[in-house]
């Protein structure tokens, strides 16, 4: 016992002597008997933090783990917030879960605690994608919702995503108010676990049909799909929730030649065929790429476990499959949407698109050329959702996204949506094929028109207390003495999102930045490179988002110019001392 800190030991004893179930107590006792002091310390040295998006962590017993008690406490805190915010109303919430181990159990516990607090619960009786939950919140007039998921984290993780009345994750000031209420739950005895009767309603296929019927109405190029309905598409849900809706969405759009990756179709929280169920990783698409080669696919798509992110692969002009990154797919989608809207004469002057400040500025250029407003938000899709809600009666949202493989077309939900994205990526592929092109050539044509943009994310890990101090010192150094030159080009603008100030480094003129404060710095160089430095809010990392560009006059020069931009990114990171 002497190897455990007194504070950790006290917390362990609270659990051993408190109102916790015997199985949980036995798991803790076994760790004590085995002298697993490192694991015990990590499990009990603090309370799992309820952040602006909710909870995420390793599953297991302990105050710093995802389990029925930390889930219950979070739900009680959220229930208290809702009751204070809507004191005279019958509050309604919606709850869904993904394929992860224990997600169904945690969803039931969440429902029980809400119901025990007199809150009416709409409960998806089977696993469903995160975006459908966002849709249901708005459709059913709920004040909140919870998705039990850890997105694309490894199988040992689970999480709890909390949503507000508009179907988006909470933003200021509600986010901090929710966190305050959750942190006020000091004892498991404060949590109401026994539900009141008649406070729960199951959701199923009827919500699927409503959601899909509204997605179909967003389609812009049904004529192209009709002519290219046999487009060869390979899709993998990577053992996740996408299987429930994406094949249906593709069929309803009119695609008749969709091939599923059989080994990854069955929902499974152990994700047996991949290391990480993350469509950003090439390894996660290995089986999809094999299937694509087998059927000579026009398009390969894969979604993460809760189906809010999507990764794609397309064939280059040598017939080889290449993976597109989130910036490339997002730029292609926006270019297609604005092109198709223009061709159909749909513009009224009220349309706009949204992206985050670390997402490709190629999108800004496309919007400018098409005379459509492009808004930039802080990192995190909740800020995109907030903007859509703010403009809902005054402007028309066409689409938007972020570099981390999350996109949204239309305003049916307030979160990234791989269901609608999959349908539109397939539609986009049909549109270009119908015009005698391909997604790869559409990518090159886009670069020829607007310039070759290349983005790279560089993450630097600094663990522990010392690492956190190093990251803080690094940001202070960049803030107080910004680099004068990066990649051979002078830095002309410094954007400090924490101080909400943009400084012209040539004239010294300062202007305000009209966004919520966030610890992000951006350096803009004379040749148009944009480098963003941002400490991670959930990991011991500082992230550098590099965006560089150059003209492209010839498709045949694409590979060579792309390599030159890689060299430029390396030079920029070297200049930053990273």
Nearest to 304 by CA among 337, 343, 277: 277
Burial category of 172 from C-beta neighbours within 10 Å (exposed 0-12, middle 13-18, buried 19 and up): exposed
Nearest to 77 by CA among 134, 117, 17: 117
For the record, the structure tokens of 395 come out as 């402007």
CA distances from 153 to 384, 516, 517 (A): 23, 28, 27
- Between strands 373-377 and 351-356, the pairing is parallel
For the record, the structure tokens of 29 come out as 């006792």
Burial category of 1 from C-beta neighbours within 10 Å (exposed 0-12, middle 13-18, buried 19 and up): exposed
Question: What CA–CA distance (Å, rounded) separates 468 from 476?
Answer: 12
75 neighbors 64 (Cβ within 8 angstroms): no
Give counts: helices (H), strands (E), the chain: 18, 23
Q: 3-class SS at 394? A: coil
Question: What CA–CA distance (Å, rounded) separates 12 from 240?
Answer: 35
Residue-by-residue DSSP string for 486-540: ETTEEEEEEEETTTTEEEETTT--EEE--S---S-EEEEETTS-EEEEEE-SSSS
Q: Other C-beta atoms within 10 Å of 439: how many?
A: 25
Please give the positions annotated as active site. 151
- Give the neighbor-by-neighbor strand order of the sheet with 120-124: 54-58, 157-163, 144-148, 92-97, 120-124, 200-203
The strand pairing partners of 494, in sequence order, are 503, 523
Contacts of 261 (CB under 8 A, 6+ apart): 234, 235, 236, 287, 288, 291, 302
Nearest to 405 by CA among 306, 317, 337: 306
Q: Other C-beta atoms within 10 Å of 322: how many?
A: 14
Q: Other C-beta atoms within 10 Å of 341: how many?
A: 18
- Whether cis (ω within 30° of 0) applies to the bond prior to 173 is yes
For the record, the structure tokens of 347 come out as 């513009």
- Please name the residue ranges forming H helices in 184-283: 205-216, 222-227, 246-253
Nearest to 316 by CA among 424, 425, 438: 438
The strand pairing partners of 314, in sequence order, are 322
Question: What CA–CA distance (Å, rounded) separates 109 from 306?
Answer: 19
């Amino acid at each position: 016992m002497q190897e455990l800190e007194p504070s950790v030991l006290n917390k362990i004893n609270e659990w051993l002597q408190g109102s916790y179930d015997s199985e949980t107590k036995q798991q803790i006792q076994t760790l004590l008997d085995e002298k697993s002091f490192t694991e015990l310390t990590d499990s009990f040295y603090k309370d799992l933090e309820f952040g602006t998006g909710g909870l995420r962590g390793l599953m297991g017993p302990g105050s710093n783990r995802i389990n029925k008690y930390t889930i219950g406490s979070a739900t009680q805190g959220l229930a208290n917030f809702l009751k204070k915010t809507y004191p005279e109303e019958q509050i309604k919430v919606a709850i869904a879960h993904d394929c992860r181990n224990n997600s169904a159990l945690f969803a039931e516990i969440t429902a029980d605690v809400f119901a025990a607090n007199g809150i009416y619960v709409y409960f998806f009786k089977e696993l469903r994608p995160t975006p459908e939950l966002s849709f249901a919140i708005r459709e059913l007039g709920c004040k909140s919702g919870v998705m039990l998921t850890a997105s694309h984290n490894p199988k040992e993780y689970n999480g709890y995503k909390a949503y507000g009345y508009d179907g988006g994750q909470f933003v200021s000031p509600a986010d901090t108010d929710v966190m305050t209420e959750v942190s006020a739950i000091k004892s498991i005895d404060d949590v109401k676990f026994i539900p009141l009767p008649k406070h729960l309603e199951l959701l199923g296929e009827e919500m699927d049909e409503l959601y899909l019927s509204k997605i179909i109405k967003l389609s812009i190029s049904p004529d192209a799909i009709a002519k290219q309905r046999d487009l060869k598409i390979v899709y993998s849900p990577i053992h996740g929730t996408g299987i429930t809706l994406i094949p249906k969405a593709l069929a309803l759009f009119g695609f008749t030649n969709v091939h599923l990756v059989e080994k990854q179709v069955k929902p499974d929280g152990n994700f047996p065929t991949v290391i990480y169920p993350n469509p950003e990783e090439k390894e996660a698409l290995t089986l999809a790429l094999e299937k694509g080669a087998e059927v000579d696919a026009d398009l390969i798509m894969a979604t993460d476990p809760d189906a809010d992110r999507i990764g794609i692969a397309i064939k280059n002009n040598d017939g080889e499959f290449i993976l597109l990154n989130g910036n490339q797919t997002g730029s292609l989608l926006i270019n297609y949407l604005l092109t198709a809207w223009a061709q159909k004469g749909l513009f009224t002057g009220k349309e706009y698109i949204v992206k985050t400040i670390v997402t490709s500025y190629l999108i800004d250029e496309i919007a400018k050329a098409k005379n459509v407003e492009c808004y930039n938000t802080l990192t995190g899709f909740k800020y995109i959702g907030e903007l859509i809600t703010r403009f809902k009666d005054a402007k028309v949202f066409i689409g938007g996204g972020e570099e981390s493989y999350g996109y949204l077309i239309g305003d049916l939900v307030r979160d990234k949506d791989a269901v609608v994205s999959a349908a539109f990526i397939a539609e986009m592929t049909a549109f270009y094929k119908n015009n005698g092109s391909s997604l790869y050539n559409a990518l090159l044509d886009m670069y020829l028109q607007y310039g070759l943009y290349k983005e790279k994310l560089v993450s630097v890990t600094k663990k522990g207390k010392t690492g956190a101090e190093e990251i803080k010192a690094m940001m202070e150094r960049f803030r107080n003495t910004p680099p004068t030159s990066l990649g051979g080009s002078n830095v002309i603008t410094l954007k400090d999102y924490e101080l909400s100030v943009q400084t012209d480094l040539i004239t010294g003129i300062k202007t305000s930045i009209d966004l919520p404060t966030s610890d992000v710095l951006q350096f803009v160089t004379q040749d148009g490179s944009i480098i963003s430095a941002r400490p991670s809010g959930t990991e011991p990392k500082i992230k550098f988002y590099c965006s560089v560009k150059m003209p492209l006059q010839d498709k045949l020069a694409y590979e060579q110019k792309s390599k030159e931009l890689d060299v430029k990114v390396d030079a920029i990171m070297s200049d930053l001392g990273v």
